[in-house]
């Protein structure tokens, strides 16, 4: 059975979880391929028998652009999926949203996991000496119980399918919790997020430390950043993934004045290095075609 771990990561949390999960699966004799949605065409997913989908939570939901990518996945006939997400606080209906979206395409949900990680959207606004940052830096990421359990569940389900059980027989639904309470939380979260989004999206700028290296231009998943006549320009297609501000090697990118001389997050290991390519186009020029999935 060919397994693909397919994910998006803005600042490194989901990337770390995906790679950690791949290592744990290997220990359990489950071989898997690993790839970002930025580097794998949706139709390439048909090469695999089972998908493990991963994403960060934005405002209690899957990122809109991630949902757009899922919409481009081909329809299938009862192909199994596992789903995981990384979140700092509220996960909302995110798992259910992805279950329902992919269920309409013929995928069978087999299990899910919600993994708590540092809030990389808030870290650039606080100083490195703060308790919030120190907690993120000092957390032990080498042994994460939730992912260990998830890997064991995946290995078990694959084993059962290999022994003859149908994918449909292994279906597992996501719990909805208390619908009214979840809805209230979601409405409050949406209101706060939209307010912050308006402030943040219009607040990006590059200060005098910028050396025009162009890294932010190359790494931006929405192609929202341009380097024109030696000046960094931010347009209106921002996904608010916070990649540019955290990845800038000179820490020159700011959001208003609130991030000046504050902390930058590069994933749990401090070595997250994304290679972003433009995606969500209906046509992919051959000279800009994302590479196929491969082991990392």
Encoded tokens for 153: 């569940």
pLDDT at 51 over 50: yes
Name the DSSP letter for residue 177. -
The DSSP symbol for 168 reads G
pLDDT, tens digit, 9 for 90 and up, residues 65-117: 899 999 999 999 999 999 999 998 777 788 989 999 999 999 999 999 999 99
Starting at the edge strand found earlier in the chain, the sheet holding 79-87 runs 33-36, 3-7, 50-56, 79-87, 107-116
The pLDDT score that the predictor gives to residue 176 is 65
Residue 242 has φ and ψ, to the nearest 5°, of 70, 15
pLDDT digits over 14-43, tens only?
Answer: 999 999 999 999 999 999 999 999 989 999
Quickly state the pLDDT bin for 64 (edges 50, 70, 90): confident
Range in 93-97, 138-142, 214-218, 279-283 the model is least confident about: 279-283
For residue 191, the model assigns a pLDDT of 61
The predicted model scores a pTM of: 0.87
pLDDT band at 173 (very low <50, low <70, confident <90, very high): confident
- What's the CA gap between 281 and 102, in Å, rounded? 20
Measured CA to CA in angstroms, residue 87 lies from 75, 117, 277 at distances of: 28, 6, 24
Q: Give the percent of the chain with pLDDT over 90.
A: 68
pLDDT at 89: 78
The better pLDDT of the pair 192, 117 is held by 117
Q: Is the predicted pLDDT of residue 203 greater than 70, yes or no?
A: yes
Give the rounded percent of residues in the chain with a pLDDT score beyond 70: 85
- Mean pLDDT, the chain, whole residue set: 87
Residue range 268-293: mean pLDDT, rounded: 54
pLDDT over threshold 60, residue 268: yes
The whole-number pLDDT of residue 236 equals 86
> In this predicted structure, what is the pLDDT of residue 215?
92
Per-residue confidence (pLDDT) for residue 188, from 0 to 100: 65
Residue 111 and residue 114: Cα distance in Å, rounded? 11
Give the span between the Cα atoms of 157 and 111, in whole angstroms: 9
Block residue for tokens 């898997």: 32
Alpha-carbon 49 to chain mean position: 22
Whole-number pLDDT of residue 159? 96
Residues 236-247: pLDDT tens digits? 888 889 999 999
Name the band, by pLDDT with cuts 50, 70 and 90, for residue 61.
confident
β strands within the chain, DSSP E: 3-7, 33-36, 50-56, 79-87, 107-116, 204-206, 225-228, 231-234, 253-255
pLDDT of res. 239: 87
């Amino acid at each position: 059975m060919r397994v693909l771990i397919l994910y998006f990561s803005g600042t490194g949390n989901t990337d770390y979880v995906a790679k950690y999960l791949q290592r744990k699966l290997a220990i359990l004799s489950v071989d898997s391929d690993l790839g970002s949605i930025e580097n794998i065409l949706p139709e390439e997913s048909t090469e695999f028998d089972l998908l493990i989908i991963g994403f960060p939570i934005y405002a209690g939901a899957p990122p809109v652009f991630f949902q757009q990518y899922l919409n481009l996945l081909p329809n299938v006939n009862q192909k199994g999926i596992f789903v995981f997400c990384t979140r700092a606080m509220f996960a909302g209906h995110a798992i259910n949203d992805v279950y329902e979206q992919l269920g309409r395409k013929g995928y069978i949900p087999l299990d899910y996991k919600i993994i708590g990680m540092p809030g990389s959207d808030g870290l650039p606004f606080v100083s490195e000496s703060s308790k919030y940052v120190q907690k993120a830096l000092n957390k032990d990421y080498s042994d994460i119980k939730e992912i260990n359990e998830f890997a064991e569940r995946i290995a078990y389900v694959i084993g059962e399918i290999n022994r003859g059980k149908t994918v449909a027989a292994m279906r597992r639904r996501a719990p909805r919790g208390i619908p009214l309470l979840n809805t209230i939380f979601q409405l409050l979260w949406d209101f706060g997020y939209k307010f912050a989004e308006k402030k943040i999206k219009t607040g990006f700028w590059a200060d005098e430390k910028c050396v025009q290296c162009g890294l932010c231009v190359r790494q931006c998943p929405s192609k929202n950043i341009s380097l024109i006549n030696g000046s960094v320009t931010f347009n209106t297609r921002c996904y608010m993934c916070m990649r540019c501000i955290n990845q800038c090697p000179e820490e020159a990118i700011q959001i208003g004045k609130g991030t000046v001389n504050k902390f930058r997050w590069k994933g749990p290991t401090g070595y997250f290095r994304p290679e972003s390519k433009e995606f969500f186009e209906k046509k992919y020029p051959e000279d800009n075609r994302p590479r196929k999935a491969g082991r990392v």
